[in-house]
Amino acid sequence: MNLLRRLATLLYGTDPGLRRMLHYWAFTAVLYCACAGLVLLQVEHGYTPAPAARTLIRFGVCGVLAFYLLIRLSARLGVAPDRLAVSQAVFSLVCAMWMYAVSGPLRAAPLSMAVVVIAFCMFAARPRQTMLLSLIATAGVGATMWWLQAHDPARFPPETEALTFGYLAAALFSTAVLSGEMHKLRARLKHQKRELTEALGTIRTLATMDELTSLVNRRHMNEVLDAEERRQPHGAGTCVALLDIDFFKQVNDRHGHAAGDAVLRAFAGTARSALRGHDMLARWGGEEFLLLLPDTRPADAENVLARMAERVHAMQVPGLDPGRRISFSAGLVERRPDEPFADAINRADKALYRAKEAGRDRIMVA
């Protein structure tokens, strides 16, 4: 299995864009093989000379292999995907015109491949490139038909060639127009998908983050707590703390809600800067915050809160008196074995209440 995986990586690479181009190449390679088989059947039934068929098949095989190398090395060679697609399309049109010239009474059948080539270009070529290919195909087939009827009018009657050319030109032009419209539709769908992805990202952010403080919101924190309970069902070594900004109502009453919002934003940024990498701070409601400290003993958790308090004390908030110091009270608990986080948070809330009764600006460990 590993050998097959390594072989696939060697042949197709690891880049998704390259793999998609090589998948298209593989499809065209299968189509070339089918056409080669049909040419051999034409030889067997006497419709196509064997030397001409062998030359055509060798030409096709060499072209298919050459385009595999070009696609596989396109990143190193700096060849754009649309240019590769156009080059492959031109090669395919040459093969289709060659098949037309050697297929005798069955010559009208290979012309359908020219239409297939133009239709296939909608996946890689631009609309202008597709229209240009259609014009090249029409001119090439027209020149081939003119040469054949001029040099062998018995086998290629001018009237028949002219009518065949008219049908093919109409089919090629219509296919080019439809391919262009399909390309535009795919471009619109890609744009809409990109917009939808961005909108979903915004919705996901709004669903998990508090818009004012850019902290995790209460809803997402509850999800994190549920996950933490599943990770450590017995609750060993996890602490939680409830924090409340002291005298926050006075800030709103004296300086207005804009100043209060500034305090919340400044507190969130300053408090978060004091945390360790695995700690998580959430806005729990109003001026209240919940701190989760996984795999932490109370002494270490208290050090984190003390560092946070020191930085909050030094914080300057625009719109407030320069001498006004912002502080917070906190209730800290260690989760007990098999204790739901809801019960631990309730104990932290009681500890926070005792911290306020004791004069605020302190950490109460329960």
Residue 236: the pLDDT is 66
Whether 339 is a known active-site residue: answer no
Q: Tell me, what's the pLDDT at 119? A: 80
Dihedral sign from CA coordinates of 171, 172, 173, 175: positive
pLDDT of residue 1: 54
Give the closest residue to 18 by CA, choosing from 60, 92, 70: 70
Residues near 59 by beta carbon (within 8 Å), at least 6 away in sequence: 95, 98
Query: Cα separation of 154 and 148, whole Å?
Result: 10
Query: Which pLDDT score, from 0 to 100, does residue 198 have?
Result: 87
How much is the pLDDT for 311?
95
Q: Where are the beta strands (DSSP E) in the chain?
A: 239-245, 280-285, 288-293, 328-334, 363-365
Catalytic-labelled residue, pool 161, 228, 229, 287: 287
Cβ–Cβ < 8 Å for 301, 241: yes
Low-confidence ranges of the chain (pLDDT < 70): 1-4, 7-8, 10, 12, 234-236
Dist. CA 224–CA 295, nearest whole Å: 14
Domains of the chain, CATH where assigned: 2-201 (no CATH), 218-365 (3.30.70.270)
